[in-house]
Amino acid sequence: MMRMRKVLMPVAVLLLAVSCRPKNQELVNLPDGSTDVVTYEMEGDSVKTGRYSNGGLYYRSVKRSGLSGYVETEAMNYYPSGGLRKYALFLNDSLRFFRFYTPEGKVEDFGGNGLIYLDDETQYVDTLQTFHQSFQQLRLAIPPHCVARVIVGDEVADEAARPDSLPLELLPMKENVSGFLVSFPVEGEYNKVIYWSLQDTLANHIQKGRVWRKFVVR
């Protein structure tokens, strides 16, 4: 019995330590194989941060109101060295965009749509009345150190041979929001193409895509 007690005591102590950890703390695995205790705290209702035991930033997320009642959440994880490890953007609980970085700051993996409410290589159809003005708001995922660009124009069969009479327009950006205004005086179908790009100025990496909008005017 004494031998069994010596084996069980460390396990009991470990379980007690885990159960006594505050709910705002989490044991995390570090890239070098070690572990650390991260402490989380809320800043108001929208910002959540997590810090390593040495005070360095481990996690930060920011929630904001999105389109059509959605909640947009930007979440970032950091290496113990302070470099960005992961960037992700969610609509409610659905992942729409992500990037992983190496400890040296290079983009290791990425996926999702820069235009977070639209899927790349997809055509969306809107129905409008003649002379009705409709603002097409576009929201982007913009990781740190990235420059976002959005360009819109009439769809053409061959982009390389786009005529001067149908120029592309570089849209203004404010934070992660862009957009363009449409209004058509004549009934018919009108097609627009939207190009987006994200240029990471530190990692020397460019990600881009496009979507189409068809406007049926009656």
For the segment 134-145, what is each residue's pLDDT rounded down to a tens digit? 999 999 999 999
Nearest one of 76, 51, 47 to 63, comparing CA atoms? 47
**125-175 residue pLDDT tens:** 999 999 999 999 999 999 999 999 999 999 999 999 999 999 999 999 999
Give the pLDDT score at 20: 58
Instruction: Return the structure tokens found at 194.
Output: 């939207």
Which phi and psi (to 5°) does residue 44 adopt?
Answer: 70, -150
Instruction: Decide: 138 and 179 in contact? Cβ < 8 Å.
Output: yes
Average pLDDT over residues 92-105: 95
- Spatial strand order of the sheet with 205-217 comes to 123-128, 205-217, 188-200, 146-154, 169-170
User: C-alpha angle with apex 55: 54 to 58, nearest 5 degrees?
Assistant: 100
CB 176 within 8 A of CB 96: no
Section 119-125 average pLDDT: 96
Cα gap 134→179, rounded to integer Å: 10
pTM above 0.75, yes or no: yes
Angle at 177 between CA 174 and CA 178, to 5 degrees: 90
207 DSSP β-pair partners: 198
Q: How far is it, in rounded angstroms, from Cα 74 to Cα 56?
A: 19
Residue 23 has a pLDDT of 75
